[in-house]
Amino acid sequence: MTVSDRVNDLIFHPKISNSLRVLATTIGRDKTYRAIQYFSRFYAYILIRNGFNTHGHRWAALKSALAMGRKLLRLFKPFEHLQLAMNSAQVSNGHKFEKWTAVARQLSYAGYLTFDGIVWANGIRFLTLDPVHTVRANLIAQRFWMAGIILSVANGIVKINRHASSLKELRKANSSEKADVPEDVAYELQALSRDHSAIRYQLVMDVFDFWLPASNLGYVHVNEGLCGILGFISSVMALRLQWAAAANKKV
């Protein structure tokens, strides 16, 4: 195999191609930047704590730059969450608690990103806010973020319990060893199991993310290093979903 063949194989490697598909999407880039941002937050904390201030401040600067850049990527995302809220509100069937927690969650995220955008606009000096209003806008953004996560967790817990009950009933009704499980029932079991796993996955991400706004608001004391690790893990989990979607695989 020649050098050009090796280079060609490397450039067109399936993982490289899938990485490019992920990075071609706004959400893929956002989650990638988020993972690097929170790793930088963790690593800067470790370096500064151990006396490597110069290197620590370098990573802290990277964290801040990525955080500001991600705000630009999410500038029009409140409209997406408003559309999702309206779509959820128009669902006629289903459970009311799940419906309205889904609506409230999307409205909370829309509020969070709106005020986060105001903070960004002030940060680049497009808007001029005095320090008091800047702090207030950031606090409101963090409260909306935390409210959205809490609503997402509540929605997920109720869904998990409902799915678990449905799975139990279906398995009990088709537990006879003499007869094969009907194809439609097998398909329903598979779909419920897949949804159940997806909800649990999202629930874990929400639990990791909860500590970030809670810490920013001063409700809990979580140091920069732990915040960085929690944010990094949830970012990698979200990035894994985007990777699977780009590869047309189920997580």
Note the pLDDT of residue 178.
46
- Count the Cβ atoms, other than its own, within 10 Å of residue 144: 21
**Chain centre to alpha carbon of residue 211:** 13
Helices of type H across 93-182: 96-123, 131-173
pLDDT in tens, 70-125: 999 999 999 999 999 999 999 877 789 999 999 999 999 999 999 999 999 999 99
Both structure tokens of 91: 């669902």
- C-alpha 153/C-alpha 210 separation (Å) is 9
> Contact 141/119 with Cβ under 8 angstroms?
yes
Both structure tokens of 26: 């706004």
173 burial (CB, 10 Å; 0-12 / 13-18 / 19+) is exposed
- C-alpha 236/C-alpha 37 separation (Å) is 12
> Contact 121/168 with Cβ under 8 angstroms?
no
| Residues contacting residue 184 through CB under 8 Å, at least 6 positions apart | none
User: Cα separations (Å) of 100 from 55, 85, 143, 154, 224?
Assistant: 47, 9, 19, 11, 34
> Contact 141/115 with Cβ under 8 angstroms?
yes
pLDDT in tens, 59-71: 999 999 999 999 9
Note the pLDDT of residue 59.
98
Give the H/E segment covering residue 5.
helix 3-11
- C-alpha 104/C-alpha 66 separation (Å) is 28
- Count the Cβ atoms, other than its own, within 10 Å of residue 243: 19
pTM of the model: 0.89
> Contact 61/41 with Cβ under 8 angstroms?
no
Note the pLDDT of residue 239.
96
Name the pLDDT band for 155 (thresholds 50, 70, 90): very high
> Contact 24/15 with Cβ under 8 angstroms?
no
| Residues contacting residue 17 through CB under 8 Å, at least 6 positions apart | none
Does 163 score more than 80 pLDDT? yes
> Contact 89/99 with Cβ under 8 angstroms?
yes
pLDDT in tens, 168-218: 877 776 665 545 667 777 777 788 888 889 999 999 999 999 999 999 999
